[in-house]
Structure 1
Amino acid sequence: MITLDNVTLTFPDGDSRITAVDHVSLSAPAGIVTGITGPSGSGKSSLLAVAATLIRPDSGHVWINDVDAATLTRNEATALRRDEIGIVFQQSNLVPSLTAREQLLVMAELGGGRHRHRDLVRARADELLEAVGLAKHGRKRPAQLSGGQRQRVSIARALVNNPSVLLVDEPTSALDQDRGAEIIDLIARLTHEQSTATMLVTHDLVHRGALDTLVTVVDGTITDTDVPATTQLETAGVQ
């Protein structure tokens, strides 16, 4: 689980400061996709950056499991991000010279895979490529893959170290509506299967049906939270 508790983030603007995130409290339970939407400039990406420990908030707490990431040093935050957080950016940001499978193997190495048996690391990479529908494309490099396929590799790469938290920033911005819907559905399915706590920023409400919860952010503040009744019951353990 990831919980933001009364988080505020500001940026300098001349002699004053601009508030990007204004006293936000938000929780994303394991196995649930929490969507974050709102107009451009509303603070969505800033909120995700705080959750990812990429930016330290001015005040408040960022609980990732039992660790308050807002109190960590830069090196400690880097280690927590490596071990517990998977991040999917708007662009796939794949290494051009590496195959799809190698993208995952390198991430596993950076995340401590060197301490695991190589066969286990390779099996995890193959498992995830299968899960995202790319089992037959593992030897292809990014230039040989479509935009949707590259984003699928990015999702698999984010999950290779079994993170407890998955943070996704506008993953469909460069895709057409059909490919975008496939990516959102894939993230939702893997969230449920892998029991990750997922926060997903999107501006496109056509994907609402795939999200368990939808939070609306305006001017850095949560203005609305939409939780379907079925999700409330499942979160409470009622089937």
Structure 2
Amino acid sequence: MATPTATAGVDLRAGANAALASRWAKPAVFTLCLVPLVWTMWLAYTGELGAEPVLESVKASGLWALRFLLIALALTPLRMLTGVAGLARFRRMLGLFAFFYAAVHLSTYVGLDQFFDWPAIWKDIVKRPYITVGMGAFLILTALAATSTDGMVKRLGGKSWRALHRCVFVAGLAGCLHFLMLVKGWQTAPLVYALICIGLLAFRRWPVRLWRRKDPQAGTGSVRTPRAEAPRSGEAPAPRFPDGSSPARRS
């Protein structure tokens, strides 16, 4: 007999999945993701960004790029821990917003801070290694954004696509290192972001499942690994993520 707590947990997961699957969920999340940009623009317009508004804009966009990247990386662990499968719908969108804010970060630095003075930018890169690290993270995010569509999954093949998109953790670690090298002295905020990224990487390497499905035949508490559907004759197996879900379903 199911306990009231277990029943309440199932009801909460069902309600969360229903809300996340609604037609309004993606537009709502999309709008929320634009709030940091609109807010920063409003502060710049009203003169509330301080004495150096361009520098503050560069900092804000870079910080939000790192935040969205870590949020996107956290969705799979949250889905595994909570059983709310609907979270997977937003992983691609949040990853693309991480790239978007990284592009705003770089564009603001190049256009508004350096005024497209390429020799000065090159000297800045040579003089300040944290810029090189940040550029490396941006190039990785660019490659991931360019191959995020279902069509690119088919062109690259499941194995190559998964190998490429595992580099998202390299981008996350590079972004955290960029933040650590940027600040003066040892500050708490960049260390917290770095620990979160390392924790998410460790979780993906050694996943922890709180809800386990018992094997009805063996009658034990062993975890059953999801089985991929058998391909038809002459077809290649559909690419899947390590947790068994299909890239095509993560829209």
TM over 0.5: no
Larger fraction in helix:
2
Structure possessing the higher relative contact order (Cα contacts under 8 Å, 6 or more residues apart): 1
Which of these two proteins has the greater Rg computed from alpha carbons? 2
- How high is the TM-score relative to the length of structure 1? 0.29
